[in-house]
Structure 1
């Protein structure tokens, strides 16, 4: 079965590109292009045409906000990363791609080492494996994401097994890669990604909010997940692998990999449109007390109603998104979530 699950096709696109943050990594100095000899007139003309194509693509402006709460846990085991401009992580980029962005949340269990490792390393591996050409780009991005998750899992397990005693940490992963106006979400476990899209209810009527799932939950109670575990010699008790592990796919968890717990993500792809308002990435701490629809409505209510305090240099819109992200995490704790809560809110505008 094709792991790509496409969401509804957009009706229109328009807009301009924007960058907000560079990659905080050892690969940062590789972002500059290699020096070349002076180009001839034909090369200059071709470069001008490519730049014109990029402008005409309608690349949306994305800005990320994050809120993290420890809840009642002794340790914060979530990790996250926001890269509004991931181009600086790549040594080369296909000429027709004008913007890369990356946002991810990782929910650790058994410790914080797997989630922190994934937050620090997964995007570097992704940058190294990102396609160098644009022909069949969707297929190549799919392969890149699958290879990146496999490599990240292998690298962590190698490090974990070399420790004394061996680390037994594991982590979910929900990663969103944006290539121009196309969103690719790769996820493992029970962290989730949802999109808020405003659609016209009737001709001349009010617009209504539609919540689109950008991820698929993996737990051992799902038939396909349970059967894979059982075929590998594992058991599912009380909704958990061997009665212990709550997710059926993860990074790390070396002791469960031999009984059907895998690191192969589900992939979903969605083209952004001018009707899209924002995307929420959140760990299960958020979605234990919020449905996806309720979380989207909560954010919309903050964006549309009331005044908020702004940080220095923030626009009014940025202040509303910042407040919505922080209040959503606070509300999850107030509703009784004892787990760690991490929320990434990504605004979308054209």
Structure 2
């Protein structure tokens, strides 16, 4: 093979006059300047896009409750771009937030927290992706399946085999579009304010971003029974509280699956925050009550000042911590993990 195959053939053998060299250099400089300007223009366009997006910041609080071990795990990635090899052409930002509620041990929840976003990054659409919405939904479905398969492979290779399982509730924000994917009974909700009522007060609305999966729901129970499993006392085989999960290898033959529900939602100027939490919170709070509790803390007059945080950030941090503590105070004996994602315009 000729080492110079990919070099252009010379057009002439004689040495070009110096004036031609000078012209070539001027042309090359002009072309380089034009390319540089084009790159700067692209960066500027992307910067304008980024500046028009809502600012997202994540806050997390975790309480062990009365359990011997903390089996929850969580991930906050307001900017996930460092994990991605490239972004689709018109996308400026990707954010990722997730909560995992383990059962039978903490290994499945920790594994999912460490690996699910990495699998997502590998499968993430790139280039000038057509029909990005469809591709992202497929990407999330494939990511959950891959993470489950990888954990089950690792779990079955242990002696004795691991029997851990975990719920998973993930929120992926691509520019200003939210994709929520979940398994099990951890939940995600969005707080949106509506136009002012007759009395001038703005009303907050709680929008569900996730769907609960437990064996008492008709479709879930039917799938489990068709697979040869049974539902007793609201549990799979009278033991497992959820009908979809990562891990739980011993229940996969009974119809417990790792296919998430995926929902899409466009962020608006009226959105205040996204709340993700495990069922420990929702055992003692309804979704509406949790949202109202957060809003009440955000409206409190005084917050303790810290140099590195703005007043708005301090309020969200306080709301997140107080919500988790209040769940324990109300008698939740389970682990409690809360993630609050502020949406600032």
The superposition leaves residues 117-167 of structure 1 with CA deviations (integer Å, 9 ceiling, x where unpaired) of: 000000000001000133100000000000000000000000000000000
- Distance of 2:36 and 2:322 partners within structure 1: 51
SS at structure 1 position matched to 2:328: helix
Q: For residues 43 and 223 of structure 1, what CA distance do their matches in structure 2 show?
A: 60
The alignment status of 1:239 with 2:234, answered yes or no, reads yes
Shift, 1:274, TM fit: 1.1
Q: Tell me the distance in 1 between the aligned counterparts of 2:72 and 2:97.
A: 14
CA displacement at 1:75 relative to structure 2: 0.3
Aligned-partner SS, 2:97: strand
Cα distance 1:54–1:141, how it changes in 2: closer, same or farther (>3 A)?
Answer: farther
- Select which of 44, 47, 52 maps to 2:45: 52
Structure 1 unpaired stretches of 5+: 1-37
Question: Among residues 178, 184, 188, which one is paired with 2:179 in the alignment?
Answer: 184
Q: 1:260 to 1:40 in 2, by over 3 A?
A: farther
Is there any run of 5+ residues in structure 2 with no aligned partner, and where?
A: 1-30
User: How far did residue 309 of structure 1 move?
Assistant: 1.9
Give the match for residue 121 of structure 2: 127
Q: Cα–Cα, structure 1 residues 310 and 250, in superposed 2: closer, same or farther, change >3 Å? A: farther
Which residue number corresponds to residue 253 of structure 1? 248
TM-superposed deviation, 1:45: 2.9
Equivalent residue for 1:292?
287
In the alignment, is the contact (CA less than 8 A) between 1:54 and 1:97 conserved in 2?
no
Q: Which stretch shows the higher mean deviation, 84-93 or 104-113?
A: 84-93
CA distance in 2, matches of 1:39, 1:266: 49
Q: How does 1:88-237 map to 2 (within 5 A)?
A: 88-133=82-127, 134-202=129-197, 205-237=200-232
Which residue of 333, 336, 339 maps to 2:334? Answer: 339
What's the CA shift for 1:282?
A: 0.2
Per-residue CA deviations over 1:248-270 (Å, capped at 9, x if unaligned) read 00000000001100000001111
Local SS of the residue matching 1:207: coil
Displacement of 1:305: 1.6
CA–CA distance in structure 2, aligned partners of residues 279 and 63 of structure 1: 10
Structure 1 residues 40 and 160 mapped into 2: Cα distance closer, same or farther (>3 Å)? farther
Is contact 1:50–1:96 with CA below 8 Å preserved after alignment?
A: no
SS across alignment from 2:38:
helix
Q: For 2:179 and 2:32, how far apart are their aligned partners in 1? A: 35
Instruction: Tell me the TM-score normalised to structure 2 length.
Output: 0.87
Determine which structure has more spread, i.e. the larger CA radius of gyration. Answer: 2
Please state if 1:311 is matched with 2:306: yes
**Equivalent residue pairs, number:** 313
The answer to whether the 8 Å contact 1:185/1:215 transfers is yes
Matched with 2:65 is: 71
**Cα shift readout 1:264-318 (whole Å, capped 9, x = no counterpart):** 0001111111100011000000000000000000000000023122333111111
Q: Higher helix proportion, which one?
A: 2
Secondary structure, counterpart of 1:295 in structure 2: helix
Q: What per-residue deviation string (whole Å, max 9, x for no partner) do you get for residues 88-120 of structure 1?
A: 001111121100100000000000000000000
* TM-superposed deviation, 1:47: 6.2
CA contact (8 A) 1:234 1:242 kept: yes
1:51 to partner: Cα distance: 3.9
Cα distance change, pair 263–203 in 1 and its aligned pair in 2 (3 A): same
For residue 201 of structure 1, report the CA deviation from its aligned partner.
Answer: 3.9
Q: 3-state SS of the aligned residue for 1:200?
A: coil
CA contact (8 A) 2:169 2:186 kept: yes
- TM-score in terms of structure 1 length: 0.86
8 A Cα contact 1:278 1:347, kept in partner: yes
**CA contact 1:64–1:344 (8 Å) conserved in 2:** yes
**2:295 and 2:303 mapped to 1: Cα distance?**
14
For the 8 Å contact 1:85–1:99, the answer to whether it is kept is yes
DSSP-derived class of the 2:203 partner: strand
CA distance in 1, matches of 2:198, 2:120: 44
